Structure 1
Amino acid sequence: MKPLKNIVFDFGGVLIDWNPIYLYREIFDKEEDMNHFLGHICRYEWNVLQDAGRSLAEGTRVLQEQHPEYREEIAMYYGRWDEMLGGTIEENVKLIKPLKEKYKVYGLTNWSAETIPIAMERYNFFKDLDGMVVSGAEKTVKPDPRLYRILLERYGIQAGESLFIDDNHTNIETAQQLGFQTIHMVDGVNLEEVLKARAIL
């Protein structure tokens, strides 16, 4: 195993607490109605198309045409998107500065190019990153290996010298296939403890 030189963070679920529930629990009176809407209307698979570069306006229009009975609720998804931000996951964000004393720190995220500026303006940790690759700007999403390769090529780093941290198992698998060291952030994983146990922090 090569000496570690780079730490690569996913954002949502690792550094940022983002969840549509934060908005829609204020919109729907019944939790089952909210769950139906998020599970069958504004689905994960639909949101990923915006993360892959489709405009928010186009994504909204297409879904409103498919589900006109939810026209207003669909419009809120991006119209009130900032209300889905629950803040930073501080126990992980606080590790960035100590990690920067020994490593370069990057971001690799599935995120719309139109909404990432909202998060960047709100959260200070972005200025501490040495660089980041945003799927919406590149028109490709994890787990497509192309997005990881853009990161490697843009910043002149090697996968074998990089640790990738993500909460999505499929994304972790692709990183491992490309040669990254990895940490899968599932419930119960204490990132600081894992980094210390591996003598990274």
Structure 2
Amino acid sequence: VWDLIKLGDYLSAREDVDPSRIGITGESLGGMHAWFAAFVDTRYSVVVPIIGVQGFQWAIDNDKWQARVDSIKPLFEEARIDSGKSEIDAEVVKKVWDKIAPGMASQFDAPYSVPLIAPRPLLLLNGADDPRCPVLGLQEPASKATEAYAEAGSADKFKFIAEPGVGHRMTASMVKEASDWFDRFL
């Protein structure tokens, strides 16, 4: 995210860039980076994370962390060994998140950080069957964002789409939705 803050510095300093019209998107980890960059840097005026937002604590609390952990398993295996555990469990997962990104499963988690992007245009794109970013774990962040955007008088600037039958992958329709969102707000 620090790199994206520095990118914001670079883009804002260019004469050929309107600093009030800088959008950000990304897919999977890139979507997570877009979400966190927009949370901390208001220069990102339009935000479209694709299959990147998730409720980290929700996944721990609801035993839905396995697919995310499997995507970077060696890290969690090392933590399991260091903890003296026979298998990776929710406690190991929480310890890893707290170590590599303090606050990611607490004060910076989606229910708290996503609504703070308001009133800037935010489109969350996800697969309805995504095991890494489970839709059920996005209900609270989406609900809180809906409230935040309504309170800011910007209800039309927040949208959450969970594409039916899609797992953790970006689709052509997601690309079209993202493109249309940028066209509309940039």
TM-score range, shorter chain: 0.3 to 0.5
Q: Could you state the TM-score of these two structures normalised by the residue count of structure 2?
A: 0.35
Higher relative contact order (CA closer than 8 Å, sequence separation 6+): 1
Q: Which has the larger radius of gyration?
A: 1
Q: Could you state the TM-score of these two structures normalised by the residue count of structure 1?
A: 0.33
